Amino acid sequence: LEGDKKIILIVEDNNDVRAYIREQIEDDYHTFEAQHGLQGLKMAQEKVPDLIISDVMMPKMDGYEFCKAIRKDEKTSHIPLIMLTAKSSLDDKISGLESGVDAYLTKPFSAKELKATVINLLHQRIQLRKQFSKSMVIKPSEVSVVSADQEFLEKVIRTIEANYGDEQFSVEMIAKNVNMSITQLNRKLNALVDQPPGQLIRSFRLQRAADLLKQKSGTVSEICYNVGFTDNAYFSRAFKKQFGCTPTDYIDTN
């Protein structure tokens, strides 16, 4: 997909409504379409979109069941979801919120209202990512997102903690451990913490190296290899980029 356009999945059984939504947003976003919840769920798992717009009344799987399935799946649990409904009663909205809906649009809705809701939810996700990107090593207990996302992050961190010293440890190993493709893992971590898995591994190794250097637990070369790096020069460059000084200078100032 070209550029940095966000991906939006439209799940709607009415062809006219689906076309209307697509026409309003396709200039600014990449769009994919599904005609019912089951098709939408499969597409969401494959594409891992940045946002989902779903109808409530659909064949095979309705909007509420679709939303619950999205929230239960680690691949998709983080994705903001807008629910479209012809109903506007309080009970219906409560049902949606209990299923994990982020925002409601009652039909008929205007193009302006649709676009504003999309922008608002994507902005909220960006603000959430900013909280985490300040910290190079993620602490899952500080992540205030739905429980499925917290469990996912904890699983990723545990996998890195158990394997970071192995120079053969790779993104593929994390993906296998969390039962995702590399593409799905990349999109999930970028959405949650604004870091792809390779960067997360490197950041974790460098943080561990800093801890060991502070404790004077070996020479720079020994610590470099202990945390999974195989090249001293690359380790020093990466360390300086993250901490603003060389490993040797770090020892001297700590």
Instruction: Specify the 3-state DSSP secondary structure of 55.
Output: strand
Chain segment 207-241, per-residue pLDDT in tens: 999 999 999 888 999 999 999 999 999 999 999 99
Chain segment 198-207, per-residue pLDDT in tens: 999 998 999 9
Query: Confidence class of residue 85 from pLDDT cuts 50, 70 and 90?
Result: confident
Q: Which residues of the chain form CATH 1.10.10.60?
A: 135-253
pTM for this structure? 0.73
Structure tokens at 161: 């903690």
Chain segment 108-156, per-residue pLDDT in tens: 889 999 999 999 999 888 876 666 555 545 544 444 555 677 778 888 9
The structural architecture, per CATH, of the domain 7-131 is 3-Layer(aba) Sandwich (3.40)
Q: Which residues of the chain form CATH 3.40.50.2300?
A: 7-131
Query: Confidence class of residue 88 from pLDDT cuts 50, 70 and 90?
Result: low
Chain segment 21-57, per-residue pLDDT in tens: 999 999 999 999 999 999 999 999 999 999 999 998 8
Residue 223's closest CA among 200, 246, 196, 241?
A: 246
Q: Which CATH superfamily is domain 135-253 in?
A: Homeodomain-like (1.10.10.60)
* Residue environment code for 186-210, b if the CB has 16+ CB neighbours within 10 A, otherwise e: bbbbbbbbbbbbeebbbbbbbbbbb
